[in-house]
């Protein structure tokens, strides 16, 4: 794992694992919660602002680019090969495009992507700028997200369309149990080392 103490993140919580072949750009604008895993071969560009919640997994070969704002809320995950674009170029034909072009000839468009709690993004899905993926959404593999997704709904396709409702009660029940185990009465995260020590003392 990368020793996160040597990376100057805006904030980095406990039990964060970043594999050594992950590429992190502009860590000073990236805030990371607790119990987060970022796999090898992830490309993460901080952009204007990036907030990654707790219990989040970003799988290998995922790329996050566009120089806009990204928010990934707690308990969400991006499967392998996901492409998240928080910004883009103006392709209307009034401007040239691509980063090699001097700024006077191109018009970058900075936007955002917000992935709410308990979201699952399937492998090789593409998420375009300016969307909010609602709480509890599950997106099937190889989908294209170009519009907001309604909470607790399963989406699939290119472009992605709602397929069915995703049950929420059991997931929220499990979240409640997880929080009771991993957070103290004041809402502070209890690290894996602290939990192990507590269990050892009870023996």
User: Both 112 and 178 in a single domain?
Assistant: no
Hey, which bits of 42-150 come out as E strands? 43-45, 49-52, 57-58, 63-65, 69-72, 77-78, 83-85, 87-89, 108-110, 112-115, 120-121, 126-127, 131-133, 138-139, 144-145
Give the CATH number, domain containing residue 129.
2.160.10.10
Question: What's the pLDDT score for residue 1?
Answer: 62
User: Both 151 and 115 in a single domain?
Assistant: yes
User: Both 67 and 141 in a single domain?
Assistant: yes
Question: What's the pLDDT score for residue 11?
Answer: 96
Give the CA distances from residue 82 to residues 105, 114, 121, in Å, rounded to whole numbers and listed in that order. 30, 15, 8
Q: How far is CA 86 from the centre of its chain?
A: 12
Question: What's the pLDDT score for residue 115?
Answer: 98
Question: On the CB side of 78, how many CA atoms lie within 13 Å of its CA?
Answer: 33
Give the CA distances from residue 140 to residues 51, 99, 121, 172, 190, in Å, rounded to whole numbers and listed in that order. 24, 31, 7, 21, 33
Number of independent structural domains in the chain: 2
User: Both 80 and 176 in a single domain?
Assistant: no
User: Both 136 and 197 in a single domain?
Assistant: no
Residues of the chain with pLDDT under 50: none
Cβ atoms of 30 and 13 within 8 Å: the answer is no
Question: What's the pLDDT score for residue 2?
Answer: 61
User: Both 160 and 177 in a single domain?
Assistant: no
Q: Which residue's entry shows tokens 């910004």? A: 87
User: Both 140 and 186 in a single domain?
Assistant: no
User: Both 157 and 175 in a single domain?
Assistant: no
Question: What's the pLDDT score for residue 99?
Answer: 86
Q: Which domain holds residue 84?
A: 4-166
């Amino acid at each position: 794992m990368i020793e996160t103490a040597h990376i100057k993140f805006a904030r980095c919580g406990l039990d964060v694992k970043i594999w050594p072949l992950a590429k992190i750009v502009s860590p000073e604008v990236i805030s990371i919660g607790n119990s987060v895993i970022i796999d090898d071969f992830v490309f993460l560009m901080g952009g204007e602002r990036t907030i990654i919640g707790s219990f989040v997994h970003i799988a290998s070969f995922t790329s996050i680019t566009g120089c806009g704002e990204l928010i990934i809320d707690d308990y969400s995950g991006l499967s392998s090969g996901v492409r998240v674009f928080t910004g883009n170029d103006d392709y209307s034909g009034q401007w040239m495009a691509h980063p090699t072009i001097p700024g006077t000839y191109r018009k970058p468009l900075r936007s955002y992507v917000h992935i709410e709690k308990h979201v699952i993004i399937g492998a090789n899905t593409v998420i375009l700028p300016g969307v909010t993926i609602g709480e509890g959404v599950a997106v099937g593999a190889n989908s294209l997200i170009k519009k907001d997704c309604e909470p607790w709904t399963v989406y699939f396709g290119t472009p992605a369309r709602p397929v069915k409702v995703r049950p929420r009660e059991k997931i929220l029940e499990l979240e409640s149990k997880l929080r009771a185990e991993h957070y103290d009465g004041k809402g502070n995260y209890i690290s894996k080392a602290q939990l192990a020590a507590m269990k050892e003392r009870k023996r």
